[in-house]
Structure 1
Amino acid sequence: MPIGGGLTTRGPRNLLRQIREAMAGAAPAQERLDRVVRTIAQSMVAEVCSIYLRRASGELELFATEGLNREAVHNTRLRPGEGLVGEVARMAQPISLSDAPSHPSFAYRPETGEDPYHAFLGAPLLRGGRAIGVLVVQNRAERRYDPDEVEDIQTIAMVLAETVASGELLGQEELRDVEVAPHRPERLKGQKFADGLAFGHVILHEAPLAPEKLLSSDPVLEEMKLNLGLADLKSGIDRMLEGGQGKLAGQSFEVLETYRMFADDRGWNRSLVEAVRSGLTAEAAVDRVRNEHRARFAKARDPYIKERLHDFEDLANRLLRVLAGDNPGQRELPDDAILVARNLGPADLLEYPRETLKGLLLEEGSAASHAAIVARALGIPCVGRLMGLRDRLSEGDLVIVDGETGEAHLRPRPDMLDSVQSRMAVRDQRQAEFAKLRDVPAVTADGTRISLLTNAGLAVDLENLDETGAEGIGLFRTEFQFMVSEELPRLDSQTALYKLVLDAAGDRPVTFRTLDIGGDKVLPYMETTEREENPALGRRAIRLGLDRPSLLRLQLRALLAAGAGRELRVMFPMIATVDEFRAARELVDVECDWARRRGRPLPALLRVGAMIECPSVLWHLDALLPLTDFVSVGSNDLFQYMYAADRTNPLVSDRYDPLSPPALRALQSIQKACADTGTPVSVCGELAGRPLEAFALLTLGFTRLSAPAGGVGPVKRMILSADLTAAKRGMASLLGSSAGSIRNEIESLARKLNVVV
């Protein structure tokens, strides 16, 4: 009999069919597993075939073997990383050696009797990118297994992984301690992205679709299906890149270009075709190649390389949906759905029905991401930065989203569930108290009137306007309409949205911020020439608007049309120089002249303002303020630029505290300059929505705050309890501190004055 040489029948289809027959038998589990390894050894002309499965302890236990000592089955266990088998599991990649005993990772276990064998080929059994076992074939002679044989064993390992996890091959008794799918309660610590509490059942966003059929009966037909799917995928990406109707709305141009690059990647395409030709269905081939890429990229140290994993993940998921003809927007959700994703864009989140979506859990992201902002606007509790989350969950698992502590509880115990329900009842009671304050004027205990507004950006936010009792909209983010659209919104659709907002507000003021896009928020239908190394400091917001005046003028034209006959407030973001504001205001004048010449009605009162979020203007307020009708402090960006700390980067976002002397002194200087010139000023960053931070703002003299909808009630309660005269005296003494943060001191001051924060 020849030594090695691959499968006796070219391609593993015949072998996979025999494995399926062995699985379907009525014999005891161990007997069926023994038949599987015997079949593999015969088909691959190997003298040894062994299957190791991972136990809950992480050890790899020999579950079946053909060629090694049978007494070693269920007795031989390898620690994580021990021996070549442990190395295959650790790397989650195949290992092929011609002389295994000479390898530094080789571990001799005398009870197995494997010392005569030199050639070694091992492949991981992957589930969710994690090795749950290892399949090994060995031969006595020193030889190198060829690429076809490596391909074959990977295909076989994939099928075994699916069947082991599903229980087809082994019964529940054998699987009880095998860490195939987590089932015990777990607590993961992450970061709070959106406040609130929720519990419900897991829905995996773009969940990997487990192929219903692994083996094909007609490889030629499956290859044709795969090629058609790839063609549809690529044409969809091309249509989006060209700005036409596509299926990838909300993704940045850079990511789309990456998708196209990966979709055309010869290695990826070749791997898919080879997997299909080996006997897998098109869906199973995509699933297998995805698992291989997931394992490979997940172990990379370079953050940029690790990020590419998500591009491959999304590409594979979209290809699977193309093959299945699946529309994710038509998924049926349970009434208590908790959405789980690695990362998410705002358009992705908006695809899910608000009435059934109770919470959001993310492996990545940041509190400043658009998905987090949308979650806060929708009142959906959200926790992010939960490493390894998706590998620990299955669709339908019960989970708790704790947006108060930044934690997720997976498969919680009954007592934990009872505790969360009690806390939710307390929150509901507190919300009822806030609701009673809805129509109470925001006046401090010593008689200072505070204007309390809300931030918005979605049509659904307009519902919150009446519910919260906010006096108006201090910041309407206009970019969301552009981000969730598959093409540039036309003049009439922009006008309709702005008119809807003004109608909903009635006689309450609305401040529209012009497009804050560019940098890391590039729209998929906008052309771009190069990738920016530092998008936060790049061509974004007003810079992009001035570089592309037709885009900004179209938006201004829509705003002027919507505001015809009433007050219109327009605000330009990221003003870094006085000249930028002059240029932007000139475009407003140009559009007003354009409307007058055509007899179009104009707003009865037009106010144009600037956002103060670039430190450069702090030393040029004397020139900027006289040109403006009002200004608003964007504290989120202002502080990230002051401290050179990207607020979306979890490695540095917590390196500074906004309640620090430098930050508060900067705010104080803005308020004083505005007071001296009579310029209305507000604060519309996240600071305005947190009671303690809002208390600090009041002590600095700010009387106009624009908070997220969920912060209006807590901040109003704080306002009603505050004696500003005493509070200002206490704050004055704290601003001279040399400490990096005076948060504790401000909190102590609030408690001393009986301010509810």
Structure 2
Amino acid sequence: MLEVLRRIIQEVNAAVDLSDALEIIVSRVKGAMEVDVCSVYLTDLDHNQYVLMATDGLNAASVGQVRIDFSNGLVGMVAEREEPLNIQSAKNHPRYQYFPETGEEQYSTFLGVPVIHHREVMGVVVVQRHAVERFDEDEVAFLVTIGAQLSGAIAHAQASGGIDGLRKRRRLSDERPILGVSGAPGVAIGTAVVRYPHADLSAVPDRRADDPEAEELAFRAAVTAVRVDIETIVERMRPVLPAEDSALFDAFIMMLDGDSLVEKSVERIRDGNWAPGALRNTVDEHVNIFEEMDDPYLRERAQDVRDLGRRILQYLQEGDTTRIDYPADTVLVGEEITASMLAEVPTERLTGIVSVSGSRTSHVAILARALGVPVVMGADDLPVTRVDGAEIIADGYSGRIYVNPGPMVVQEFERLVREEDELSDGLKALRDLPAESPDGVRIPLYANTGLLSDIGPSLNSGAEGVGLYRTEFPFMIRERFPSEQEQYEIYREVLESFAPRPVTLRTLDVGGDKALPYFPIEEDNPFLGWRGIRITLDHPEIFLVQLRAMLRASAGLDNLNLLLPMISSVDELDDSIDLIDRAYNELIEEGVAVKRPKIGAMVEVPSAVYQADVLAKRVDFLSVGTNDLTQYLLAVDRNNARVADLYDSLHPAVLRAMMQIVEGARRFGKPVSVCGEMAGDPASALLLLGMGVDSLSMSTGSLARVKWVIRTIDAEKARSLLQEALLLERSSEIREQINTVLEREGLGGLVRAGK
């Protein structure tokens, strides 16, 4: 049964659209379970009904016509209970609802399972038999598995037009939004430009060919290049490979010489698709054929077809010398938008970003906030391959996306964008004013940065210094560890640029999601592994070089603060301070006139929260990295779109941890800074003001917004608001409470679209 299930799921994943997928489901499940009927009902939220959308066994004319109210019928009962319903005689059940147009009166046994996606019932899968006999446990388990696998496909269909989109293939357009999570505030209205990784067929979008003849020539050239490569491999390997193994390469050549793969792709190109899209469709078609075969050996050949397709695609991409045309209103879209993809778009043309994967704390979201570009992350229901060139709206406040929206939606969001622009212009007047509350509490606002190119924007933003300089970037862009002199020159430029304002340099923080190409770290669970201070303590030869470079760079400026990442115990902190003292003493002995800098410990793991007081006793300040702290406290991978909605720095547990950190530091009179993304969120910043946090450090794009909050609301009122928030049990309640206060104070434009 497992093998049958695997084949069905492969076919569903290769389906052209959901309508095709549903037909595969009802046909294959009916055969595999040896039932008389298999049907799929989908949820129609607009009418509070379940609609029959595919069947093998009932009257085909009833598809799209049979509608069952939410509270009626056996299908409604399955959805209500959110569990399988296995009935021996359906007609005798009190919830049975008869639809004569289906012809189902002849079937006795009923088994229905819900299809659930993100806790929402998307539909119901039903199988029926003539025989009056309950389905056994294995059959129930099999259908439950099918329902679970179908959930993602149905969610994609709703994003592409829902129930209506199944009746006919239509242009991707709907007033209902596709849901993601907020990555960076703001509203983007523009043209979708889909980016995708090289040599990844599944990520290639459909795109109209501007010049089909040129596309065909490029495709045939790529096929020829692959053929030459394979012939070369055959000649080199034939003497050492058994005949049966070298036959695989002969099969590749036959496929390239035949009509099925090449000419089918050419046919699609001539129909208007560009070469990579045409190739993807043809390869998917061939893969589907192989995966339907009963022979296990032949099924495995599907992977060979994929490999051949990737080889052709690689040549197509290498030969594509045309520059991507970024419209003036580009919204960058992709399965995963990387920092390099972001960097390729001219800044003045980038309107917004939409990424299927990632969350608010993904690196690209952090960069976008620094640029002031709206971002929606975690949009896993977005049909990326179908949106290239479409008009798109991305609401970075709510995480909603509209593809090819209607005129009413566009008109409303255009109004909100105008108000956003007015708000941004008004915030510029705050640049040189202090972040001081009306009742006289001042909180310095610093910039988070990590690139020399960020120095100018940081200085112009009104930042009072640098609260977090990420020193790992110079390590990540090289093919070896940077020398002491190379590091010295970078740190010196940063310190000089901001002098006499303070600059906090964080020591090397790699591991987890930050890898060095020349220092690979292979771990099953990198976020709980060898990272941050653990690496540098294990390699003092690397750590001491960096510490010496930092201390030398501060000579005569004396505006250096040192920050130690990922501290989880007092032993790590003591050992780190010993190495700092060693580097300092070495330089003094060498005659370098340096002063011992202030030393801080990052609080970003739970153990550091519970030892905040003893850590504060040993250092000059604590700095809270709320991105990792939230991740570790809530056990949520912040880069995983499946759980991105669970990641919330306003979770009651996070707020209580923050309070414990502040109180622990106060026992020894040490200041607390917050350098995570929580500091740049206006709603969170209000609570941090109430906690008595001493400084905030954030992306430059957030500085003016946070400053506006602090200059508008009394610290005493913030403290009262914090006490109320600590009594609440849900992060949604806390956010609603704060947003209500911001709206009342005329600050609503900081947490939603518009002014």
Indicate the SS of the match to 1:570: strand
CA gap of 1:696–1:107, structure 2 versus 1, over 3 A, is closer
CA gap of 1:493–1:359, structure 2 versus 1, over 3 A, is farther
Match of 2:394 among 389, 401, 405: 401
Q: Sequence identity of aligned pairs in percent?
A: 34
Deviations 1:220-270 (A, max 9, x none): 765115678999xxxxxxxxxxxxxxxxxxxxxxxxxxxxxxxxx999978
Cross-structure match for 1:201 = 191
* 1:466 partnered with 2:459: yes
1:319-718 equivalences under 5 Å are: 320-326=313-319, 331-391=324-384, 393-485=386-478, 488-528=481-521, 530=522, 532-566=523-557, 567-599=559-591, 601=592, 603-604=594-595, 606-655=597-646, 657-718=648-709
Deviations 1:443-483 (A, max 9, x none): 11111121122222234432332343121121122233444
Structure 2 distance, partners of 1:229, 1:395, is 37
Indicate the SS of the match to 2:351: strand
Cross-structure match for 1:191 = 181
Cross-structure match for 1:72 = none
Cross-structure match for 2:12 = none
Moved more, 347-356 or 711-720: 347-356
| Backbone CA RMSD of aligned residues | 4.5
Q: TM-score, normalised by structure 1?
A: 0.64
Structure 1 distance, partners of 2:186, 2:724, is 35
Cross-structure match for 1:39 = none
Cross-structure match for 1:223 = 227
Structure 1 distance, partners of 2:248, 2:695, is 55
- Report if the CA contact (8 A) 2:230-2:249 is conserved: no
Q: TM-score, normalised by structure 2?
A: 0.64
- Report if the CA contact (8 A) 1:213-1:281 is conserved: no
- Report if the CA contact (8 A) 1:475-1:513 is conserved: yes
Deviation at 1:725, TM superposition (A): 2.8
Deviation at 1:504, TM superposition (A): 3.1
- Report if the CA contact (8 A) 1:360-1:381 is conserved: yes
Structure 1 distance, partners of 2:595, 2:322, is 42
Structure 2 distance, partners of 1:488, 1:653, is 34
Cross-structure match for 1:276 = 256
CA gap of 1:441–1:636, structure 2 versus 1, over 3 A, is same
Structure 2 distance, partners of 1:386, 1:218, is 34
Structure 2 distance, partners of 1:696, 1:605, is 33
- Report if the CA contact (8 A) 2:671-2:693 is conserved: no
Indicate the SS of the match to 1:375: helix
5+ unaligned residues in a row in structure 1: which ranges?
1-53, 61-77, 88-103, 110-176, 232-264, 301-308
1:135-214 equivalences under 5 Å are: 179=169, 182=172, 187-206=177-196, 207=204, 212-213=216-217
**For residue 592 of structure 1, what is the amino acid of its counterpart?**
Y
Structure 1 distance, partners of 2:480, 2:308, is 21
- Report if the CA contact (8 A) 1:560-1:602 is conserved: no
Deviations 1:150-187 (A, max 9, x none): xxxxxxxxxxxxxxxxxxxxxxxxxxx97387477774
Indicate the SS of the match to 2:697: strand
Deviation at 1:584, TM superposition (A): 1.9
Deviation at 1:360, TM superposition (A): 1.4
CA gap of 1:562–1:392, structure 2 versus 1, over 3 A, is same
Deviation at 1:752, TM superposition (A): 7.8
CA gap of 1:383–1:286, structure 2 versus 1, over 3 A, is closer
CA gap of 1:484–1:726, structure 2 versus 1, over 3 A, is same
1:308-319 equivalences under 5 Å are: none
- Report if the CA contact (8 A) 1:329-1:352 is conserved: no
- Report if the CA contact (8 A) 1:721-1:754 is conserved: no
Cross-structure match for 2:47 = none
Deviation at 1:427, TM superposition (A): 0.9
Moved more, 431-440 or 706-715: 706-715
Structure 1 distance, partners of 2:223, 2:461, is 61
Deviation at 1:682, TM superposition (A): 0.7
- Report if the CA contact (8 A) 1:80-1:86 is conserved: no
**For residue 422 of structure 1, what is the amino acid of its counterpart?**
R
CA gap of 1:427–1:487, structure 2 versus 1, over 3 A, is farther
Deviation at 1:578, TM superposition (A): 0.9
Structure 2 distance, partners of 1:339, 1:274, is 39
**For residue 416 of structure 1, what is the amino acid of its counterpart?**
V
Structure 2 distance, partners of 1:313, 1:378, is 39
Deviation at 1:289, TM superposition (A): 7.5
Moved more, 661-670 or 443-452: 661-670
**For residue 571 of structure 2, what is the amino acid of its counterpart?**
D
Deviation at 1:576, TM superposition (A): 0.1
Deviations 1:412-445 (A, max 9, x none): 3344333322211111111112111111111111
Structure 2 distance, partners of 1:217, 1:749, is 63
Cross-structure match for 2:73 = none
Deviation at 1:666, TM superposition (A): 2.2
CA gap of 1:328–1:182, structure 2 versus 1, over 3 A, is farther
Structure 2 distance, partners of 1:326, 1:654, is 41
Indicate the SS of the match to 1:212: helix
Name the one with the larger helix percent: 2
CA gap of 1:315–1:502, structure 2 versus 1, over 3 A, is farther
Deviations 1:254-289 (A, max 9, x none): xxxxxxxxxxx9999788555324356699898787
CA gap of 1:314–1:669, structure 2 versus 1, over 3 A, is farther
Deviation at 1:516, TM superposition (A): 2.2
Deviation at 1:539, TM superposition (A): 1.0
**For residue 417 of structure 2, what is the amino acid of its counterpart?**
M
Aligned length: 558
CA gap of 1:221–1:695, structure 2 versus 1, over 3 A, is closer
Match of 1:735 among 726, 730, 748: 726
Structure 1 distance, partners of 2:377, 2:234, is 33
- Report if the CA contact (8 A) 2:175-2:406 is conserved: yes
Deviations 1:643-689 (A, max 9, x none): 33333334444446543544323222221222221212111122211
Structure 1 distance, partners of 2:721, 2:20, is 61
**For residue 461 of structure 1, what is the amino acid of its counterpart?**
D
- Report if the CA contact (8 A) 1:219-1:277 is conserved: no
Indicate the SS of the match to 1:355: helix
Deviations 1:701-746 (A, max 9, x none): 1131112222221211111122223443454465355667544455
5+ unaligned residues in a row in structure 2: which ranges?
1-14, 32-54, 61-166, 197-203, 210-214, 236-244, 267-274, 292-301, 751-755
**For residue 674 of structure 1, what is the amino acid of its counterpart?**
A
- Report if the CA contact (8 A) 1:512-1:569 is conserved: yes
Moved more, 666-675 or 535-544: 666-675
Indicate the SS of the match to 2:667: helix
